[in-house]
Amino acid sequence: MEKRELLYEGKAKKVFATDDENVLLVDYKDDATAFNGLKKGTIAGKGEINNRVTNFMMKLLEKEGVKTHYVEELSNRETLVKRVSIVPLEVIIRNISAGSFAKRYGTEEGIVFDEPTIEFSYKNDDLGDPLINAYHAIALKLATKEEIEKIKAMAFKVNDVMKEFFAGIGIDLVDFKLEFGRLSDGEIVLADEISPDTCRFWDSKTHEKLDKDRFRRDLGNVEDAYNEMMKRIFSK
């Protein structure tokens, strides 16, 4: 597969065309941003870790019956994926209170929920990705009712698979963000990435944060945390 022109450059990834119109090439960068781009930096080795961790998770999920955009890992930073049109929703699943949930409802972090929660944000940088409910998403024609139902079921399935996997390597899966896309025939598949940039990972015993919160909150040892997650995941 040949790498062709740059189609899009985002905060953490570049996307290139290939000689197959249905396949794109994703190239992961070390650049890190937080707070809607207000905080900028780099995390050495992040691109490689996020690429390899994402592909590991996508393969695991496919094995468990979740359809994804994953095609093939080309190198430490580059992966082929199916071309999708992204549903402009960030889908967030939570198992434990943290981040914007704790802030919005004035609770502490670390409350373990009896049932996982789901919420959506409207992917719109100008508006700062506002929280949106399913009715509003349908009214704005961001997705159909059927697509929302499909996305919910897939997101909870992803949570079941990932929670169990991470428990096996001594990690509490606190929360994470997913994105979904439509293939050319309209089928909904899991897209984007699953990495320490998009998940909160806490060590089950020490509760140490092993994810992007180390960068967002200036906790130090950012690279160590990403490396530790990669090491544990690939020990399996």
What is the binding site for ligand UDP (CB under 6 A)?
90, 92, 98-101, 129, 175-177, 198-200, 212
Backbone angles phi and psi of 57, in degrees to 5? -70, -40
**Is the Cβ–Cβ distance between 167 and 135 less than 8 Å?**
no
84 vs 93 by CB, closer to ligand UDP: 93
Cβ nearer to ligand UDP, comparing 18 with 54: 54
* Alpha carbon distance 57, 235 (integer Å): 14
Q: CB of residue 17 vs ligand UDP: minimum separation in angstroms?
A: 25
CB of 35 to ligand UDP, least distance (A): 7
Comparing CB distances to ligand UDP, the nearer of 56 and 101 is: 101
What is the nearest approach in angstroms of ligand UDP to the Cβ of residue 63?
A: 23
Judged by beta carbon, residue 9 or residue 187, the one nearer ligand UDP is 9
| Distance (Å, whole) CA 82 – CA 80 | 7
Identify residue 81 by its one-letter amino acid code: V
- For the record, the structure tokens of 147 come out as 């697509």
With CA atoms as reference, report the closest residue to 110 among 97, 92, 122. Answer: 97
Distance of closest approach, residue 3 Cβ to ligand UDP, in angstroms = 26
- Reading the block at residue 216, the tokens are 């967002």
